[in-house]
Amino acid sequence: MSRFIGFYDYTVILTYVSLLAAVSSMFYASQGYFFYAILFLMLSGLCDAFDGAVARSKKDRTEEGKAFGIQIDSLCDLISFGMAPAVFCFFVGVDGLAGRLILFFYCLCAVIRLAYFNVLEAQRQQTEGGANKYYHGLPVTAISIILPLFCLLQHVLPEHLFVALLHPLMLAVAFLFILDFPVKKPNLRNILSNV
């Protein structure tokens, strides 16, 4: 009997690395190293893209282990793709009453989306098993692609305009988290076989 609670096998390693990358992103953003903050956000998203496949590769997972995986993944996703992007945007300049309300709303939508995902995923795994083929709404991990791509505009826009446009971007992404529309889940095996 282990003296520690939780699960400590290879199925959760990428989830934990994703979390550590997100925390690093927040540290760098708070110190004004925005390039490194974005790099670590992208690393977090990359780890998250593969953590489910790694977890499913263990054939003898218990039901308790699967349930733990669902919960730990969403808790880490909240920090990685809810809090870390909000912290980044705050330090970049999304501030003031409007900016803070947008970032609060963004975090709230991320929480709602992840909680709803947990409910659906727990129900689905009881009947189907395997991997889900569709998302309901925009997955929170999408911010690890959207925000870095948007940050490329820093090289062509004045800083005040870049920050001004970051406000509606974060608001739009927040709404897409909770808007119910089907998003086909990318098949990583097909993507990797074509690389």
Query: Phi and psi dihedrals of 173, rounded to 5?
Result: -60, -40
CA–CA separation, 85 and 194 (whole Å): 30
Bridge partner residues of 183 (DSSP):
135
Other C-beta atoms closer than 10 Å to the C-beta of 60 total: 5
Query: Phi and psi dihedrals of 184, rounded to 5?
Result: -65, 130
- Is the confidence at residue 67, as pLDDT, over 60? yes
pLDDT tens profile 75-92: 999 999 999 999 999 999
Kindly list the structural domains of the chain, giving each domain's residue range(s) and its CATH number in brackets, ordered by start: 10-193 (1.20.120)
pLDDT tens profile 9-59: 888 899 999 999 999 999 999 999 999 999 999 999 999 999 888 888 888
CA–CA separation, 55 and 10 (whole Å): 8
pLDDT tens profile 151-172: 999 989 999 999 999 999 999 9
pLDDT tens profile 122-138: 777 667 655 667 788 89
- The confidence score (pLDDT) of residue 160 equals 95
Q: Where are the alpha helices (DSSP H) in the chain?
A: 13-30, 34-56, 63-77, 84-92, 96-127, 143-151, 159-178, 188-193
Stated pTM of the model: 0.88
Contacts of 180 (CB under 8 A, 6+ apart): 136, 137
Cβ(185)–Cβ(133) under 8 Å?
Answer: yes
CA–CA separation, 8 and 112 (whole Å): 27
